[in-house]
């Protein structure tokens, strides 16, 4: 790396994009990321490999003893460990036998030194069926349309791909090359250039070896670089590659060597500084890539807006449970979010009604939940757990996606309500808070017992909200798969949406936390008239139960009770027992009203509002408005198409057109 190169000029992409690529490779999705690609073409011995070495700041494996007879794709990828994977991509027009043969060849090694590379090149020549310099009497081709693929991985590698093609040569070599080979190589290069740059707006001319230009010919080269001769849209650039003597110097600094040459050697010193040197070439390539990205923005934006529109249509149909309007709901059950959330709400409501109280209220309504009697004898936690293993219920019903584990409430098993010790507990609380009240109790007692009685609400409700988040997240994943079958784009979208989605999920959790905080307040109160109704009903239940005990059947009159029995108190109670009974009845009535209100609030606010319906809900995130606010880098990361894929798409489009034309010809026969 040149010491004089400013830090901000390093690399081929913006720092944020490189950091994002690093993160993607670190989490194992390197195969899904479209990498920048550079194709270098030119005459034999024109310094192509030296240009590549300068651009990527790493030596490329080369062998001067073997002429390049085929295109070589070199892919650099960042990975935890160093590795080189070698394979051959067969020519698309090759025979099935040849394709199978070259596909079956390959090597995986830890590093690539010159001797190993020479051996690999020789093997590749043989696998492709190319001729050697030896006269073996067998007619074999000199060049191949097969591609040698080298994938070089390591912790310090750049993220890019380059293709080195055979150099253009002008004369034949007896026994080695023919005029047909000259045309084959030229066609190979011209086809690559035409496919990659149809309009000539992505080709940058690079001149090498200015130190070897014949005396008197310098002015012509300068005219070329300055655009006064043979103009190109992107212009020309000139670099000075290191010579063999320079390469032997281990302390050689290419950038400094080049800078000194273009600063002091005439007429090269007169050329604009932005058009000379490998470092400025790196910047020019970056500018070309950036301009191409900008040209693609309208297409990418329109494409993503189309996906977002389809996504929001599925949201609307799903929330309204209009499943018959789209076949996607039958293909992907995860899209049916309304019935799934409704079912989970019902479970939440039932669990709060059956198991939400810490102590089972004395009632005649027949609690259907299994209960166990509290034992006042001291025992170890281990013994308690052993005896009550089957007396618990799980608060979570859904499995957590790995990416949401950190924000969701963990799975817990809670005990069913304690039965048979409610009055003892209330008496203990009363005695611990008794003042000088006469026949009444301290108002703070209600807040104390309500906190204890509703202590399981937090785990039950947070478990419910967490499950609702999982259902919403499952819908989003299913909907993205339904509207977008391009996995690269989906992965880009998920990566771009993930942080904001997490924040919106946390908003729902925070809403539930706020409602819980209100319920734990030290000021129990309600304006709900059902509190008084419940309290009166609770007090009447004991009187009715007492009367029914003394009732008897009297023929056609049905159940009757003697007057003296009806006027007697249910049972003789002390002042403490009266107060405890009063606390019990008030707590029971207040708890029931609060529980129903709390359940409705959690369902309506934390789940329906924050997760499904509001403008800041997770379902509302991926929308045309979201796409319109994406930055240039974000659009490219999500919907940018690799050059190779574009070439393939164009080729397939041509083939489809040709086949369609053939069909029309055949139908006229």
Q: Return the bridge partners of 151, or none.
A: 75, 85
Say which residue, 144 or 606, is predicted with more confidence: 606
pLDDT at 44 over 50: yes
* pLDDT confidence bin for 170, thresholds 50/70/90: very low
C-alpha closest to that of 159 among 74, 268, 219: 74
Confidence (pLDDT) at 479: 96
C-alpha closest to that of 87 among 67, 97, 101, 69: 101
Average pLDDT over residues 583-590: 86
**What is the 8-class DSSP label of residue 484?**
-
pLDDT at 80 over 60: yes
What is the SS3 assignment for 307? Answer: helix
Q: DSSP characters for 426-469?
A: HHHHHHHT--S-SSS--THHHHHHHHHHTTTHHHHHHHHHHHHH
Average pLDDT over residues 424-430: 85
Dihedral class, residue 48 (left if φ above 0, else alpha if ψ from -120 to 50, else beta): alpha
pLDDT over 70, % of the chain: 65
C-alpha closest to that of 239 among 461, 25, 111, 49: 49
343-352, 531-540, 559-568, 626-635: least confidently modelled range? 559-568
Confidence (pLDDT) at 344: 97
Residue 88's H or E segment, with its range, is strand 83-89
* pLDDT confidence bin for 544, thresholds 50/70/90: low
Average pLDDT of the chain? 75
Confidence (pLDDT) at 565: 57
What is the SS3 assignment for 227? Answer: coil
Q: 169: buried, middle or exposed (CB in 10 Å: 19+, 13-18, 0-12)?
A: middle
The alpha carbon of residue 328 and the mean position of all alpha carbons in its chain are separated, in whole angstroms, by: 22
Q: 95: buried, middle or exposed (CB in 10 Å: 19+, 13-18, 0-12)?
A: exposed
Q: DSSP characters for 511-579?
A: HHHHHHHHHT-S------THHHHHHHHHHHHHHHHHHHHT-EE-GGG-EE--HHHHHS-SS---HHHHH
C-alpha closest to that of 509 among 455, 473, 464, 474: 464
Cis peptide, bond prior to residue 552, ω within 30 of zero: no
Say which residue, 119 or 162, is predicted with more confidence: 119
CA distance 182 to 172: 8
Domains and their CATH numbers in the chain? 34-196 (3.40.50.300), 316-365+423-630 (no CATH)
* pLDDT confidence bin for 65, thresholds 50/70/90: very low
Half-sphere exposure of 329 (CA within 13 A, CB side): 19
Confidence (pLDDT) at 277: 87
* pLDDT confidence bin for 181, thresholds 50/70/90: low
Tokens of 388: 């009550």
Say which residue, 535 or 484, is predicted with more confidence: 484
pLDDT (tens digit, 9 = 90+) per residue, 504-532? 999 999 999 999 999 888 678 777 777 77
13-17, 252-256, 272-276: least confidently modelled range? 13-17
CB 153 within 8 A of CB 26: no
pLDDT at 87 over 60: yes
Confidence (pLDDT) at 177: 52
Half-sphere exposure of 121 (CA within 13 A, CB side): 20
Q: Return the bridge partners of 414, or none.
A: 393
* pLDDT confidence bin for 47, thresholds 50/70/90: low
Average pLDDT over residues 283-305: 71
């Amino acid at each position: 790396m040149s010491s004089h190169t400013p830090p901000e000029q390093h690399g081929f992409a913006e720092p944020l994009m490189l950091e994002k690529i690093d993160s993607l490779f670190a989490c194992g999705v390197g195969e899904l990321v479209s990498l920048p690609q550079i194709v270098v073409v030119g005459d034999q011995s024109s310094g192509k490999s030296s240009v590549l070495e300068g651009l990527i700041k790493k030596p490329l494996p080369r062998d001067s003893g073997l002429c390049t007879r085929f295109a070589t794709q070199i892919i650099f990828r960042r990975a935890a460990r160093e590795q080189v994977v070698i394979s051959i991509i067969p020519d698309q027009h090759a025979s099935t036998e040849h394709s199978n043969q070259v596909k079956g060849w390959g090597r995986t090694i830890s590093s690539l030194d010159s001797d190993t590379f020479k051996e690999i090149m020789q093997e590749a020549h043989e696998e492709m069926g190319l001729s050697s310099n030896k006269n073996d009497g067998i007619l074999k081709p000199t060049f191949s349309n097969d591609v040698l693929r080298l994938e070089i991985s390591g912790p310090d590698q750049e993220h890019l791909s380059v293709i080195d093609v055979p150099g253009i040569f002008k004369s034949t070599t007896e026994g080695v090359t023919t005029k047909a080979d000259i045309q084959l190589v030229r066609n190979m290069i011209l086809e690559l250039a035409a496919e990659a740059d149809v309009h000539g707006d992505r080709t940058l001319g690079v001149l090498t070896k200015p130190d070897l230009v014949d005396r008197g010919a310098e002015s012509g080269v300068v005219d070329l670089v300055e655009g006064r001769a043979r103009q190109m849209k992107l212009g020309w650039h000139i670099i000075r590659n290191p010579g063999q003597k320079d390469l032997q110097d281990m302390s050689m600094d290419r950038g400094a060597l080049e800078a000194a040459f273009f600063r002091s050697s005439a007429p090269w010193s007169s050329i604009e500084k932005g058009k000379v040197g490998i470092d400025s070439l790196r910047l020019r390539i970056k500018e070309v890539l950036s301009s191409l990205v900008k040209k693609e923005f309208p297409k990418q934006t329109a494409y993503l807006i189309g996906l977002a529109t389809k996504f929001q249509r599925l949201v609307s149909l799903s929330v309204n449970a209009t499943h018959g309007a789209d076949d996607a709901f039958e293909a992907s059950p995860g899209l049916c979010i309304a019935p799934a959330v409704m079912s989970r709400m019902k479970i939440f409501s039932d669990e709060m009604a059956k198991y939400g109280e810490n102590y089972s209220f004395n009632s005649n309504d027949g609690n259907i939940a299994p209960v166990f009697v509290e034992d006042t004898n001291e025992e170890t936690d281990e013994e308690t757990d052993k005896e009550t293993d089957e007396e618990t219920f799980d608060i979570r019903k859904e499995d957590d996606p790995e990416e949401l584990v950190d924000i969701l409430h963990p799975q817990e098993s809670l005990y069913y309500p304690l039965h048979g010790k409610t009055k003892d507990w209330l008496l203990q609380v009363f005695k611990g808070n008794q003042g000088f009240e006469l026949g009444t109790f301290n108002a703070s007692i209600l807040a104390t017992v309500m906190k204890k009685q509703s202590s399981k609400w937090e785990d039950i409700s947070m478990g419910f909200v967490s499950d609702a988040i999982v259902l919403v997240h499952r819908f989003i994943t299913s909907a993205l798969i339904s509207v977008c079958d391009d996995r690269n784009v989906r992965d880009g979208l998920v990566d771009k949406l993930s942080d904001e989605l997490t924040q919106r999920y946390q908003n729902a959790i925070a809403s539930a936390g706020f409602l819980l905080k209100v319920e734990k307040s030290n000021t129990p109160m309600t304006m709900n008239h059902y509190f008084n109704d419940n309290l009166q009903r609770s007090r009447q239940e004991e009187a009715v139960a007492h009367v029914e005990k003394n009732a008897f059947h009297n023929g056609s009159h049905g159940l009757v009770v003697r007057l003296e029995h009806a006027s007697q108190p249910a049972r003789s109670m002390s002042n403490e027992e009266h107060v405890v009974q009063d606390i019990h009845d008030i707590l029971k009535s207040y708890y029931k009203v609060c529980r129903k209100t709390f359940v409705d609030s959690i369902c309506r606010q934390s789940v329906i509002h924050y997760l499904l319906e509001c403008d800041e809900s997770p379902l509302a995130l991926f929308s045309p408005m979201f796409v319109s606010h994406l930055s240039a880098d974000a659009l490219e990361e999500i919907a940018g198409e690799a050059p190779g894929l574009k070439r393939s798409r164009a080729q397939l489009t041509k083939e489809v057109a040709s086949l369609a034309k053939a069909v029309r010809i055949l139908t006229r026969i």
